[in-house]
Amino acid sequence: MQNRTRVIVLLVAVLVLGAVGTGAVLYAADRTARRDQVQAGGPPVESGPVSLQVPSGGRELLFRNMAWGPHRDEITTVPADHPDGPRTASGVQCLRFHAAAGTGICLQAQRGALEDTYRAVILDDHLRERRSFPAAGIPTRSRVSPSGHLAAWTVFVSGDSYAGSDFSTRTSIVDVRDWNLRENLEDFTVILDGRPYQAHDINIWGVTFADDNTFYATVASAGTTHLVRGDLAARTLTALHDNVECPSLSPDGTRVAYKKRVPGLPADAPWRLYVLDLATMTETATAEQRDIDDQALWSGGDTLVYALPGDYGADLWTVPADGTGSARPVTKAAVAPAYLG
């Protein structure tokens, strides 16, 4: 009798587990199908021409469209002064994106039967592919220099979050004029406290450009993150300030917006958005009180734009850079913004 009971219990357990597994598969399939269908209340999106040329009729805001429907993940454009208006979709899909002066950087996934691979694609002013480079892992950050001559990207070689310590990154910079590729910035010399610094645990991410030679980025080692100033010609990374991640240089080159780890916050949500004056090294906390895991973008000389989790994956928000005011929404279902004009 006991053996029979055990068999019955085992059969019931198998049936329950099978039902749960089938339900999970069907739920995932249904969710995937719904992602391809336009959802009620989402922003209107239509196919159309999208250009990276500086517009003559006013500023444009480009971003990766996150709204469910046939244009999800495509680079879309809206007038910068009407960001919640109808979106024009380019047909080009990117996981991360940035653009300036007619050059775009698009980090793409190539879906495989067993595993995905990734690549960094340089786009021309009509979003046509100029050249692509294999990417060693999951895309996370991208930037184009103000001149459009340089493009940078960061990927996770291992791990998929900056919150912990068990991740490894690789950051590359390419000159689109001659395709000179600096494949791994870890080959540059790190200068810390005035001396060359070497360690096995160096990670570099979040490039932001000043010009065609000077850039800023984050270097992490021994549990500390540093803002570094990079020199392409000299192949150096000079530490300037601690506890700076994902820097973003202001248009006038005087300030850096960044996410800062604040003591006392949860380990999986440790960041707040700050601005650093490069002349005085004075830090100013913005009015945004939520966790920011993004590389903020300057939408002008006084305001920042960044992504926060939303119903479709991410929404764009803005906050003054000087610590005043309050955070307010820009548009829903969007990430990886770039301004033209």
pLDDT tens digits, residue range 191-202? 999 999 999 999
Task: Give yes or no for a contact between 296 and 257, defined as CB atoms under 8 angstroms apart.
Answer: yes
The CA-atom distances, in angstroms, between 73 and each of 63, 97, 278, 288, 300 are 9, 10, 35, 26, 25
CB atoms under 10 Å from CB of 104, counted, come to 30
**Using CA atoms, how far apart are residues 273 and 256, in angstroms rounded to an integer?**
11
pLDDT tens per residue across span 250-301? 999 999 999 999 999 999 999 999 999 999 999 999 999 999 999 999 999 9
The arithmetic mean of pLDDT across residues 26-49, rounded, is 65
Mind giving me the DSSP string for 102-145? TEEEEEEEE--SS--EEEEEEE-TTS-EEEEEEESSEEEEEEE-
Task: Return d(Cα 66, Cα 301) in angstroms, integer.
Answer: 27
pLDDT value, residue 55: 86
Q: What are the phi and psi torsion angles at 298 (to 5°)?
A: -80, 120
Q: Provide the pLDDT for residue 227.
A: 98
